[in-house]
Amino acid sequence: MLAERLRAVAPDALVEVVDHHVRSELGGLRADVLLADYRITGLWPVLRPDDPTAGLLAEQTIAARCFASQDALVEDVPETPGVRLYVPLSVWGERLGILVADFPERPDDLTVRHCHVVADDLAVALRAADRDTDRYRLARRRQRLSMAAEMQWDLLPGRCVTDHGYVLAGQLEPAYRTSGDNFDWAINRGRLTVTIVNGNGTGLAASALTCLAVNAMRNARRSGGTLVEQAELASDTLFAAHHGARPVEALLLEYDGGTGHVKAIDTGSPKAWRVRGGAIAPVVLEQQLPLGMFEETRYGTQSFELDVGDRLFMVSDGVHDASPGGRPSYGERHLAAAIRAARLSPPAQAINSVMRALNDYHGDVELEDDAVIVCLDRTHPVNGTEGTVDQFTSRRMAEAASG
C-alpha cells in the first residue's frame, strides 16, 4: 500500500515515492506536487523547479482552478498526445496544494479515484513530515523569512480546518516579516478554541512576547483549563516576565460546534464581526484588561450565538486600524465592504479576498503593522466533512440570488 511506503521512507522523499507510484502502478508518465506559498498567492513544485504548471493563482491556470474549486481537473498537454491530471491536496480542510500527474491518455474514473486516494495519503504524510524536514517549507517560500516571522509561522496551528458543523481559516501578513500578531486554534471534544493575539512591539521582541502568551494559553488548555484559566495563566505568566511593562491584547473564543454557542474573553484590540444573511455587524463585547498588565488579573466570559449560515470574521488591529502613509484608518466601513464582497466564498478564499482589499488600500505602501484575519463559518453538520464547504457556499449563492 502507498500509505505504508510513505511511512517507511525518509520524510524528505515523499514526493519521489508518489512519482514512482503513479508511473509504476497507474501507467503515468510523471507526477509532482505543487505547494501553496506562505501568502497563498501561487503554487510551486517540489520535484521540478521549472515545472510549467507552477505559477501564481491569479493567473487562473488549470492548477489554480483545481486549487480553488477542490475538484480534479484534466487538460491536454501542449505538443504531446498526453493529458495532465490535477488533484487537490488537502488534509482536515487545509489546502496544501495540488498533485499533478501526466498520463499518455485520458485516465478513466477508477484511475482518477485512485489519484484522489494518493493525494489524501500524501497530504497526511506531508503534514507529519513537516516536523522533520525543511524541504516542503523551502518549496513554499518565495523569499527569506525574518527571524521574527520564522518564530510566528512555527507557532501557527495551520491555515484551515474543517469539522462537523464548521469551517475555519486564518491568514497572517506580511507573511515574510510579521512580528507579534498571531492566531491559534484547537479542536477538543466538539469544542473549538480560537485565540487572536495582537503582539506588542516589533521584531524579535514582539515575536518572543507572543510566543510566551500563546504557549501559556496552550499549557492551560492542554491541562484541561477553561477559557478563563487560559487567559489568567497567560496574564500571570506575562506579568511575572515583564512586571506589567509589556501587556498583550487578545481575543479568546470557545465555540460549540453542536449548538453554535460562543464564549468570549476580550482583552483589547482584536475584534470580531458577524455576518448574518446580508447584515454585517461588530460583535460588541466588554473589553477587559490586557493580559499581563497587572498582577493576578481575573477574567470573565461573555457569550453570543452563531446560527447555521452565520460567518464570524476576527481581525487584529493591523486590519481595522491600518492607516498607510498617514491616510485615514481602514476602519469599519472598508472592512465591512471587503467582508460583504467575499460573502459567497468559502473561508480560505474569503480571507484572501479581504487581505487583498487591505493591501489594495495600502497601495504602494507595505503593511506597516501585522494583520491577522480568521474566518469561521457555522455550517450544517454532515456525516463527514466532504461537501461541507460546497453545501454552505450553495446556500449563500441561493440567498444572494433571492436578494
- Do 35 and 130 lie in one domain? The reply is yes
- Give the model's pLDDT for residue 398: 45
- Whose CA is closest to 28, among 38, 41, 18, 37? 18
Query: Cell digits for 325?
Result: 502613509
- Tens of pLDDT, residue by residue over 90-112, are 999 999 999 999 999 999 999 99
Question: Over 70: is that where the pLDDT of 385 sits?
Answer: no
Query: Cell digits for 394?
Result: 450553495
- Give the model's pLDDT for residue 382: 52
Residue 280 to residues 265, 274, 276, 286, 377, Cα–Cα distance (Å)? 21, 6, 7, 19, 14
pLDDT-based confidence at 1, cuts 50/70/90? Answer: confident
What order of strands is seen across the sheet that includes strand 94-103? 55-56, 42-45, 30-36, 94-103, 83-91, 73-76
List phi, psi (to 5°) of 249.
Answer: -95, 140
Residue 337 belongs to domain spanning: 145-401
247: CATH? 3.60.40.10
- Do 131 and 164 lie in one domain? The reply is no
Burial 61-82 (b: 16+ CB within 10 A, else e): bbbbebbbebebbbeeeeeeeb
Please give the Cα distance from 103 to 77 (Å, whole number).
9
- Give the model's pLDDT for residue 245: 96
- Do 46 and 87 lie in one domain? The reply is yes
Q: Do 176 and 146 meet the contact criterion of CB atoms below 8 Å apart?
A: yes
Last residue of a domain, one of 92, 109, 138: 138
- Tens of pLDDT, residue by residue over 341-357, are 999 999 999 999 999 99
Last residue of a domain, one of 120, 138, 156: 138
- Do 285 and 358 lie in one domain? The reply is yes
- Give the model's pLDDT for residue 386: 38
Residues above pLDDT 70, as percent of the chain: 94
- Do 35 and 182 lie in one domain? The reply is no
- Do 121 and 231 lie in one domain? The reply is no
- Do 221 and 304 lie in one domain? The reply is yes
Put residue 205 in one of left, alpha, beta given phi > 0 → left and psi -120 to 50 → alpha.
alpha
Question: Over 80: is that where the pLDDT of 326 sits?
Answer: no
Question: Over 90: is that where the pLDDT of 402 sits?
Answer: no
pLDDT-based confidence at 164, cuts 50/70/90? Answer: confident
Torsion, CA 228, CA 231, CA 237, CA 243, rounded to 10: -110
Last residue of a domain, one of 78, 109, 138: 138
Please give the Cα distance from 9 to 31 (Å, whole number).
18
pLDDT-based confidence at 285, cuts 50/70/90? Answer: very high
91: CATH? 3.30.450.40
Q: Do 306 and 378 meet the contact criterion of CB atoms below 8 Å apart?
A: yes
Domain total in the chain: 2
Query: Cell digits for 401?
Result: 440570488
- Do 179 and 132 lie in one domain? The reply is no
- Do 167 and 120 lie in one domain? The reply is no
Query: Cell digits for 191?
Result: 469544542
End-to-end CA distance of the chain: 51
- Do 167 and 109 lie in one domain? The reply is no
169, HSE (Cβ side, Cα atoms, 13 Å): 22
- Give the model's pLDDT for residue 143: 93
- Do 236 and 310 lie in one domain? The reply is yes
List phi, psi (to 5°) of 185.
Answer: -155, 160
- Do 281 and 323 lie in one domain? The reply is yes
Paired with 94 in beta bridges are 91
Tell me the whole-structure pTM to 2 decimals. Answer: 0.89
